[in-house]
Chain A
Amino acid sequence: MKTNSQNGSQMTPIIEVTDLRVHYGDKLALKGVSFDVYQNEILGIIGPAQSGKTTLLKVINRTLEFTPDATIEGSVKLDGEDISTISDVYGLRRRIGMVQPLPVGLPLSIYDNVAFAPRTAGIRSKSELDVIVERCLQQAALWEEVKERLNTLGTQLSGGQQQRLTIARALSHQPEILCLDEFSIAVDPVTTMRIEEVLKTLRTEMTILLVTNLVQQAKRLANRTAFFLNGDLIEIDTTDIIFSENPAEQATYDYVNGTFG
């Protein structure tokens, strides 16, 4: 499969996935996928349920290791370095921001939620943390709504605010890559649009992997889009081509146009 890149994103691959296979016990969840992710692009990842999208994200930040019977073959390189050989796995996870489908407000205050990762990384000074917390909440378009009540529990926020809080939290360790896993599932359309605006501005600072159940969201945001189906990468190309009248694969056309899935 040939990939090309347009829309002004640079051609340096930040993630190189080569022949990645993941088994859960006997079940093959990813059936040997290969693709690159380029610096400062938004890569949309679409596909129906059970197609391996979430598994892919878990491989990249190495949280799949917590699933007891999961086995990984093939390689994933981050900045040219094979992630399975990185010894500081906690450092690796801090290079990658992760936003889960349902907002997980840790049972901590808003402030502590955002300061969580910097603290685990060893930042202790209050003034430094204050700066980080404000910056991240600003970036996630949440600062104006919560600046008066940073010490209330994060779980008391509305669903949409909580999701922006998790984005702020994912940004708190200044990741190179931001992975969003179907972030709009629990969020109303207005908040979704706000978060999408946020993502557009973040593109200049980092690479974004956007797993989404909303095909149109990929169309709106992504430079390139990858279509996964049953653990196979069916097609990856510029979003324009994927959403055009003639993508390389018929299945892509059918899915994008809502014929199935």
Chain B
Amino acid sequence: MKKRVVALFTAAAMLVSMFAIGTVVSAEEEEKDIPYVAVSLPPAENAWQANFAEMIDKKMAEAQEEGVLTYSLKSSQDAADQMNVIQTFKDDPDLDFLVVLPVDGAQLTATVEEVYDSGIQVIVLDRDISSDKKTAFVAGDNYGCGVAAAEFIQDYFKDQDEVKYVNLRSYAGTEIDLSRFNGFNDIISKDPKFVNLGEADGEFNSTAGFEAMSNLLAANDQIDFVYTHDDETTTGALTAIEQAGRDDIQLITGMGGTVTALREIAEGTGPHKMTAAYFPADMAEIAIKAILTYAETGEIEKELLFESYPITKDNVEEFQDKAYE
């Protein structure tokens, strides 16, 4: 009798353990299905980046709430710090995806390659690395932003014989600066009626935009338009123009899509009549979609370049809800 009880108890215990083990295994399997994503960002050095950090955090949190992924997010001060952060992420055995917006794509190439080689899927955002060892590259079309601005400018001055302009760049020589510069220059430089008077660095902010523009104004008596690479730079340049009391500037274009820029374009009373934008919220959404698509199908397009929008008075209202500050 005793033996029977012991045997029954043992059998019951085994059943319970098997069930428990089964539950753990299936829970693990279930958890394994949900991708774990690490997000590494640069410092929020301007309004666009600050808004992007906010947007990707918000959208990742929403996705986590829906139970489709789990994530961890970390911003870095510089390229060296970002390298350390990525190495730390890589050492986590549960990591499935690394989403990285590099401080500097070239500097982070070796680190990102190492992560990719270890079997983790890597989504590079906005600033590309100098290697093919990545799952996908998601970026706004900076070259297209330059093209859009140039086409708008060409159309705006179609009836003028000679057009003098200045260029406010943003951290001259960086990848974004060169893309925006080349997109604009490849079109404008082919048209001999456009005369480049000079350039200065607006550094993606209004104070530098103000100082750069005030120097350009002092050096040039007649400027027809100002091409800037950034909306905050445009804000500073407009203040300098207003302060100098200059009324020769007919047009200033920007890039980015800030609340101030869209308001000025909507008002239509000043020279700020156009900006070219790709919005932080769009990029965050595309990055998350890319992760979920790959997690489900194991396939993804290698390069996801999304369109930039030329924003003028005609269509500005469509973008008001995406504007950032």
Indicate whether A and B interact.
no
Interface residues of B (CB under 8 A from A): none
Interface residues of A (CB under 8 A from B): none
